[in-house]
Structure 1
Amino acid sequence: MSIFSKRSKFRVPTEVRRIKQVVEPVAQPKTARAAILGSTAAPAAASHSVSRSSHGTPRASPKPASSSRTQALQSAMSSPELRRSSTTTSRKRRAAYTNSPLNDSDPESDDEDWRETLDPSKRRKRAHTEDPARQLRHPRLWAGQNEEEDELGIVHAVEVASLADKCRPVMGLEEDEVGVRLRYPGANYLERYELVWGRDKIDGARDIMEVVNLVGSIYLTDAQAKPFLDQDHGIYRRLEKSKNTKDGKGFKAALQEYNEQLLALQKKGAIAQNIDAMRGVPRELVETILRQVYDRTVAPKVELLAKYQNGTDNVYGELLHPFVSDIFDRTKLTSEMVFVDLGSGVGNVTLQAALERGCESWGCEMMENACNLAEAQQKEFAARCQLWGIAPGKVHLERGDFCKNERTLAALKRADVVLVNNQAFTSELNGTLVNMFLDLKVGCKIVSLKTFVHDNKTAANDVAASILDVEHFSYPGGYVSWTAAPGTFCISTRK
Structure 2
Amino acid sequence: MSIFNQKSKFKVKTEIRTVRQAVESPKMMPTQTPSAKKPISARATPRASPHPSSVSLGGSANDSLRAASGIRARKRRAGASPANNHNNSPSFSDSDDESDGDEDWEGNLDARKRQKRAHQERRLADPNRALRHPRLWAGEDLEAVVSKRLPIIHASDVASVNDKCQPVLGLAQNEVWVRLQYPGSRHPERYELVWGKDKIEALKDIMKVVNYVASTYLTDDEAQVFLEQNTGIYRKLEKSKNTNDGAGFKAALKEYNERLFALQKKSVIAKNLDAMHGIPRELVAFILDQVYDRTVAPNVELLAKYENGTDNVYGELLHPFISDMLERTNLTSDKVFVDLGSGVGNVVLQAALETGCESWGCEMMENACNLAEAQQKEFSARCRLWGIASGKVHLERGDFRKNDKILTALKRADVVLVNNQAFTSQLNDNLVNMFLDLRPGCKIISLKTFVHDNKLAENDVATSILDVEHLTYPEEYVSWTSASGTYCISTRKGQPVESDS
- TM-score using structure 1 length: 0.83
Aligned match of 2:392: 394
Identity %: 64
1:128 equivalenced with 2:122 (yes/no): yes
Between the aligned partners of 2:354 and 2:488, the Cα distance in structure 1 is 22
Within a 5 Å distance, the mapping from 1:154-165 to structure 2 comes to 154-165=152-163
Gaps of 5+ in 1: 1-15, 36-53, 60-71
AA at the equivalent of 2:98: S
Evaluate the alpha carbon distance shift between residue 380 and residue 346 of structure 1 in structure 2; reply closer, same or farther with a 3 A threshold. same
Equivalence map 1:401-416=2 (5 Å): 401-416=399-414
Secondary structure of the residue that 1:385 maps to in structure 2?
helix
The answer on whether the counterparts of 1:242 and 1:250 sit within 8 Å (CA) in structure 2 is: yes
CA contact under 8 A between 2:306 and 2:314: conserved in structure 1?
no
Output one character per residue of 1:350-404: Cα deviation in whole Å (capped at 9) or x when no partner. Answer: 0000000000000000011111110110010011000001000000000001111
Is the contact made by 1:150 and 1:187 (CA closer than 8 Å) also made in structure 2? Answer: no
Deviation per CA, 1:145-173: give whole Å up to 9, x if none: 12145531000111001111011111001
Whole-Å Cα distance in 2 between the matches of residues 309 and 480 of structure 1? Answer: 21
> Secondary structure at 1:123's aligned position in 2?
helix
Given candidates 350, 373, 376, the residue that maps to 1:375 is 373
8 A contact 2:227–2:235 mirrored in 1: yes
Task: Give the one of 444, 468, 487 matched to 2:485.
Answer: 487
Equivalent pair of 1:361/1:395 in contact (CA under 8 Å): yes
* Amino acid in the other structure paired with 1:19: E
Asked if the contact 1:227/1:234 (under 8 Å) is kept, the reply is: yes
Aligned to 1:353: 351
Please say if residues 150 and 189 of structure 1, whose CA atoms lie closer than 8 Å, have aligned partners that are also in contact.
Answer: no
> Which residue number in structure 2 is paired with residue 109 of structure 1?
98
Q: CA deviation at 1:309?
A: 7.1
Counterpart of 1:139, as a letter, is: P
Pairing 1:59-458 to 2, within 5 Å after superposition: 72-74=58-60, 77=62, 88-90=73-75, 107-110=96-99, 116=108, 119-125=111-117, 126=119, 127-130=121-124, 131-147=126-142, 148=145, 149=147, 151-307=149-305, 315-458=313-456
Q: Distance in 1 between matches of 2:442 and 2:412?
A: 9
How far 1:175 sits from its partner (Å)?
A: 1.1
Letter in 1 for 2:99: D
| 2:362 aligned partner, one-letter code | C
After alignment, is 305-314 or 292-301 more displaced?
305-314
User: What TM-score, normalized by structure 2, do the two folds share?
Assistant: 0.82
User: Cα 1:296–1:117, aligned 2, differ >3 Å: closer, same or farther?
Assistant: farther
Q: Is the 8 A contact 1:56 1:317 kept in 2?
A: yes
Counterpart residue type for residue 219 of structure 1: Y
In the superposition, relative to structure 1, how do residues 309 and 331 fare at CA in structure 2: closer, same or farther (>3 Å)?
Answer: closer
For the Cα contact (< 8 Å) 2:68–2:314, is it kept in 1?
no
Inter-partner Cα distance in structure 1 for 2:359 and 2:63: 34
Are the structure 2 counterparts of residues 83 and 360 from structure 1 closer, same or farther at C-alpha, using a change threshold of 3 Å? Answer: closer
Deviation of 1:87 (Å): 5.3
1: CA distance between counterparts of 2:475 and 2:257? 40
CA positional deviation for 1:302: 1.6
Q: CA contact under 8 A between 2:70 and 2:479: conserved in structure 1?
A: no
* Residues 91-117 of structure 1: CA deviation (Å, up to 9, x unaligned): 66679x99xxxx967641237779757
**Alignment CA distance shift 1:81-1:193 (3 Å):** closer
State the partner residue of 1:19.
15
- The answer (yes or no) to whether the contact 1:307–1:314 under 8 Å persists in 2 is no
Structure 1 residue 484 displacement after superposition:
1.7
Q: d(CA) in 1 for partners of 2:439 and 2:217?
A: 38
Shift of 1:27: 4.1
Paired amino acid for 2:326? F
Distance, in Å, in 1 between the alignment partners of 2:270 and 2:289 is: 24
CA contact (8 A) 1:89 1:482 kept: no
Equivalence for 1:43: none
Determine if contact 2:303/2:368 at 8 Å carries over to the other structure.
yes
CA contact (8 A) 1:18 1:326 kept: no
- Map Cα deviations across residues 185-234 of structure 1 (whole Å, 9 max, x no partner): 01111101110111111111111001000011101100110110011011
Task: Please say if residues 116 and 122 of structure 1, whose CA atoms lie closer than 8 Å, have aligned partners that are also in contact.
Answer: no
Equivalent residue in structure 2 for 1:55, among 53, 66, 78: 53
- Alpha-carbon distance between aligned partners in 1 of 2:134 and 2:212, rounded to the nearest angstrom: 21
Compute the displacement of 1:305 (Å): 2.1
How far is 1:428 from its partner? 1.4
Cα distance in 1 between the residues matched to 2:459 and 2:307: 39
Decide whether the 8 Å contact of 1:472 with 1:490 is kept in 2.
yes
Query: Residue deviations 1:428-484, cap 9 Å, x none?
Result: 111100000000000000000110001111210000000000011111111111222
Once residues 21 and 310 of structure 1 are traced to their aligned partners in structure 2, the CA distance between those partners, rounded to angstroms, is 33
1:55: how far off? 2.3
CA distance in 2, matches of 1:87, 1:183: 31
Q: 1:304: Cα distance to partner?
A: 2.2
